[in-house]
Structure 1
Amino acid sequence: MEPCAAMRPAFLKGDEGTLLTSHEAEYIVEHLSCLGIDQVGSAAWIKQHANLEKLNLQAHYNTMALCDEFVMAALISHNKMDVLIHELLVIEIWLEKVFPHLLPALAVQATTMTLGLLLYHEATIINLLEVALFHSEACEALGSDALLELADYTYRKVVYLNTKAWEDASAKERTASEMVNLKPEEEVEDKVARNRFCAGVCALSVLRYLTDYISSLSPCVMARLLDCHDVVMALIPLVESAPWTRKRKSGDKRWVEKYSKGKWSEVPPADRYLLVEPDVQLWLAINNLLVDLKCRNKYAYDSYRRSQVLKLHKYVNDLLLDQLPVLKDLRWVLEELQLKILNTDPDRGGLILEQVPALRESMLRRDDWQELAQKQLLTILANEAPNQSAMNERVLEMMRMFEFGELMEPPTCAACGGQAVNRCSRCKTEWYCGKACQVRVWQKHKKACELLVRASHNQPNKIVQA
């Protein structure tokens, strides 16, 4: 038995756990490049998105299966971590500045596949970074400029989690009939909200990893998070608001759902106070920033900061410590604060000049967003399907990635979200708990199903494109 097999989760199939071999992953990583905002939606961009999606899926599988993490190793050895940060900023700005101008036209003219690529790109990259940056060597492989940009990005997402995330998370669940009658723009806006929320939660994990290794990273990162953004004050409200927890109701039925591992799940009443992944990442980030000695020496308390931090005291109870014993030192710090043992004279470390990020600012230094949107609309629509062969190949790539992703979790019903036991006999990609649910969403699935079946009959199996 292979070394990792004994500890692999039962639902992971070891013999099917390769979307990419280590050599294929290294080849793809070696050819990753920085693409500008003008290139979003181009043929080169679409190809790179597909490759990033493969890397992301394989990296997650390697982590879950406790196997060799060759994707992360390749990103480090080929110095491509900074490229991921560049691509993350590009798609963030594009979604903010260009996409709103494109929305009406793309909602009507673009295929579901094209919209999926554009809207899911940010979540794909931050999800890949989430896997890689768990390791200190990946954090340390980032240049100081990239680290600052990433620190700023995660702070912007924390601000989002404190504001618009509530609206995105509490979006109304639509019935099958409502989905069929949904206007194209409304459907796209729903997808934007889902992907924006996913990226925000992933960014919280990335912030936690930055705080894990903050003492060994460039001092500018600590200065940026504590002095410039005061990220501690931004994180504390999330303990109480927790946008990844929502209350739902249908008729007389009421229940609570929590967001973890990329999806919303109903929480049994007995488990209401159990932490989910975003809760854990939030508490660990706060713990790192308040307990780490270098951070404590740098972070000066005034009366406002003290009052806000002390709000945590009621939450750091035995129930929390049973789940996260590492927080025992945080309890001690809070008790110190109650006794007014404060650091009011922070250690500035003798720094005279403050390093600031410049990449995002340089990308924003233009005002032709509407003109760019008009040009890109033609590019995006032209690259949707240069010919039927290219479309078939693209669909097959998506099918392989979808099927590989299924290996990492038990299948769920596409209609009701329950445990699935059957899947579509034609395309074999969509799962259902029974005949009733399959009939319920068939009209929505029919076109995609026919396209997938046609593509599978017309194209050979092909994985790697650099």
Structure 2
Amino acid sequence: MEELLPTVLLPGEAEALVESLRNFQLRDIGDYGWIRQHEYIEKLNMQAVLSASSGQEQFLIELLVNNAKIPILIQELITVEIWKQKIFPILCRLEDFKPKSTFPIYLVVRHEASVINLLETVFFHKEICESAEDTILDLIDYTHRKLTLLAAQSSSGKIPVEQKLQREDLANLSSMQELKKQAEDMEFEISLKALSVFRFITGLIESLPVSAVTRMLNTHNFPCLLVQLVEHCPWSYREEGKLKKFENGAWYEVPREDHVKITKLDGQVWIALYNILLSSECQRKYNFNNFSKGQLLKLRAFLTEVVIDQFPNLLEIQRFLSHLAVTDPDPPKKDLILEQVPVIWDQVVGENSGKWKAIAKHQVNNMFSPSEEELKSQARRWAKTYNLDVMEALIPDKPKCAMCGFEAAKRCSHCRNEWYCKRECQVQHWQKHKKACNLMADTLKKIQEDIQTPTN
């Protein structure tokens, strides 16, 4: 008998939650209605993952399309991105702001990750992309900001997330400083989700508005940006002769025999390049000047036989690049059209320019200083949102032993963060794991105390 996956939402519940989604003003982020909507998006997010894993996502897709909610989700995504850039730094600088719990602020910081994760799960479907309508331009701009940041951090040699967590003494940070660091680390995963969303968009180039293709190619020059991601590979680094890569939300050590294996993230970049470079529409519109041509030809060094064996379609890119190297493509044809431009970012910033500090103080006084009863109520609701059966079902792969890499079934009872296949591996790994284990356990304890029993 086929095993049934846990269900987060019944069909009627999912329909009610989707219908209730609406846009919030920047000033209202963090209020009661906004927090409830964040919970709804989290539930829809989990249900989307569970449904997609069982091939039963069509019902949720139809709900989002028929109720025209994709533009609302895109506006939510960009509004909270602006909040994190404009309001959050002000909160972190307020010396007299020492909240009983940073959990309400954490929900806002997390919101961007929740929305982009939901969009990543559903954007595989053509009807979702088409239902975005004009906001697809805003989403393209959003992904460009995220991928530009990702490429810039990697090219500058910024320390990966995993190392930063080990090298900083989080115990000496204030609650707001620690939250700021969590937000910085979360930005990395958000950018990777944005890469996935952009890859899905490139697969539907023929269905995109003309302005979207022009913006993708010539306003932002995504082909050259993708070359930088191939060149610097932000989800991979070497430490003490060992290769580590980021996948499924965690860094892992790559066995030597898998060093040349293409990961899912590598594949996202190559597929996006494939979709763009081999599209007749893009070849007609893209400006193959000396700079862009030189950047694209860098890809030939990465198209080895080993890579092409894993991804045979890349042979077509290799042929295209060989042809590009010996030809001078015609200048792009300029169509006489009225070009659309994205509006969400400019509209939100324009409406709130000069009001950032006032908005921050308003939110401190009215939203981010909840009473003890309000915090307990939030904790109870979140305990219902996240139940163990659902969370286990959302794990994409079986956990791996932190020592030997084999499939693991035992978890560290202290920090609940590392897995082991047997007792011997846990003992051998303890000296390396000890410091992180104690830090993680203390942090979890502190968060639990903040949520459930805040001090007066």
TM-score higher than 0.5: yes
Code of the aligned partner of 1:27: A
Match of 1:124 in 2: 114
Match of 1:463 in 2: none
1:391 matched to 2:378? The reply is yes
Q: Distance in 1 between matches of 2:5 and 2:162?
A: 36
The 5 Å alignment of 1:160-309 reads 160-164=149-153, 167=158, 169=160, 172-175=163-166, 178-249=169-240, 254-309=241-296
Q: Distance in 2 between matches of 1:43 and 1:293?
A: 49
Change (3 A) 1:241 1:176: closer
Match of 2:31 in 1: 42
Match of 1:158 in 2: 147
Q: CA deviation at 1:244?
A: 0.9
Code of the aligned partner of 1:235: L
Secondary structure in structure 1 of the residue aligned to 2:368: helix
The 5 Å alignment of 1:62-73 reads 62-73=51-62
Q: CA deviation at 1:411?
A: 6.9
Q: Distance in 2 between matches of 1:117 and 1:262?
A: 19
Match of 2:90 in 1: 101
1:143 matched to 2:133? The reply is yes
Secondary structure in structure 1 of the residue aligned to 2:8: coil
TM-score for both structures, normalised by structure 1: 0.84
Code of the aligned partner of 1:408: L
Provide Cα deviations, 1:10-67, integer angstroms capped at 9, x if missing partner.
xxxx434211122211110010001111111111111111111111111112212333
Secondary structure in structure 2 of the residue aligned to 1:256: strand
Change (3 A) 1:389 1:274: same
Provide Cα deviations, 1:412-466, integer angstroms capped at 9, x if missing partner.
59999984514759xx987765697798354433355578899xxxxxxxxxxxx
RMSD: 3.1
Q: CA deviation at 1:265?
A: 1.7
Match of 1:20 in 2: 9
Structure 2 contact 151–228 (Cα < 8 Å) conserved: yes
Secondary structure in structure 2 of the residue aligned to 1:85: helix
Change (3 A) 1:37 1:422: same
Which of 57, 67, 72 matches 1:78?
67
Extract unaligned runs of 5+ from structure 1: 6-13, 455-466
Which piece of structure 1 moves more, 186-195 or 134-143?
186-195
1:380 matched to 2:379? The reply is no
| Identical amino acids, percent of aligned pairs | 29
Structure 1 contact 399–429 (Cα < 8 Å) conserved: no
Q: CA deviation at 1:140?
A: 0.9
Code of the aligned partner of 1:213: L
Q: CA deviation at 1:176?
A: 10
Q: Distance in 1 between matches of 2:274 and 2:28?
A: 41
Change (3 A) 1:381 1:301: closer
1:58 matched to 2:12? The reply is no
Q: Distance in 2 between matches of 1:54 and 1:420?
A: 27
Q: CA deviation at 1:197?
A: 0.7
Structure 2 contact 230–269 (Cα < 8 Å) conserved: yes
The 5 Å alignment of 1:332-347 reads 332-340=319-327, 342-347=328-333
Q: Distance in 1 between matches of 2:402 and 2:446?
A: 16
Q: CA deviation at 1:72?
A: 2.3
Which piece of structure 1 moves more, 373-382 or 331-340?
373-382
Q: Distance in 2 between matches of 1:159 and 1:245?
A: 17
Which piece of structure 1 moves more, 185-194 or 42-51?
185-194
Change (3 A) 1:420 1:398: farther
Secondary structure in structure 2 of the residue aligned to 1:221: helix
Which of 386, 393, 417 matches 1:407?
393
Match of 1:357 in 2: 342
Which of 1, 18, 42 matches 1:29?
18
Q: Distance in 1 between matches of 2:365 and 2:419?
A: 38
Q: CA deviation at 1:378?
A: 1.6
Q: Distance in 1 between matches of 2:367 and 2:270?
A: 42
Secondary structure in structure 2 of the residue aligned to 1:246: strand
Structure 2 contact 30–105 (Cα < 8 Å) conserved: no
Which of 299, 303, 312 matches 1:312?
299
Match of 1:444 in 2: 443
Secondary structure in structure 2 of the residue aligned to 1:364: helix
Which piece of structure 1 moves more, 270-279 or 444-453?
444-453
Extract unaligned runs of 5+ from structure 2: 421-425
Q: CA deviation at 1:188?
A: 2.0
Match of 2:423 in 1: none
Q: Distance in 1 between matches of 2:56 and 2:404?
A: 30
Provide Cα deviations, 1:332-389, integer angstroms capped at 9, x if missing partner.
111111221x3222222x3332211122101111211111111111223244655465
Code of the aligned partner of 2:392: E
Q: CA deviation at 1:304?
A: 1.8
Change (3 A) 1:421 1:343: same
Q: Distance in 2 between matches of 1:177 and 1:232?
A: 36
Q: Distance in 2 between matches of 1:95 and 1:66?
A: 35
Q: Distance in 1 between matches of 2:329 and 2:363?
A: 53
Provide Cα deviations, 1:206-235, integer angstroms capped at 9, x if missing partner.
111111101111111101111211111221
Provide Cα deviations, 1:145-181, integer angstroms capped at 9, x if missing partner.
x011011111111211111355363563445993434
Code of the aligned partner of 1:214: I
Change (3 A) 1:22 1:265: farther
Q: CA deviation at 1:405?
A: 2.3
Secondary structure in structure 2 of the residue aligned to 1:445: helix
Change (3 A) 1:287 1:16: closer
Code of the aligned partner of 2:131: A
Q: Distance in 1 between matches of 2:332 and 2:166?
A: 55
Secondary structure in structure 2 of the residue aligned to 1:111: coil
Code of the aligned partner of 1:169: P
Secondary structure in structure 2 of the residue aligned to 1:274: coil
Q: Distance in 2 between matches of 1:15 and 1:298?
A: 48
Code of the aligned partner of 2:224: M
The 5 Å alignment of 1:85-96 reads 85-96=74-85
Change (3 A) 1:297 1:31: same
Say how many residue pairs are matched.
Answer: 434
Structure 1 contact 29–74 (Cα < 8 Å) conserved: yes
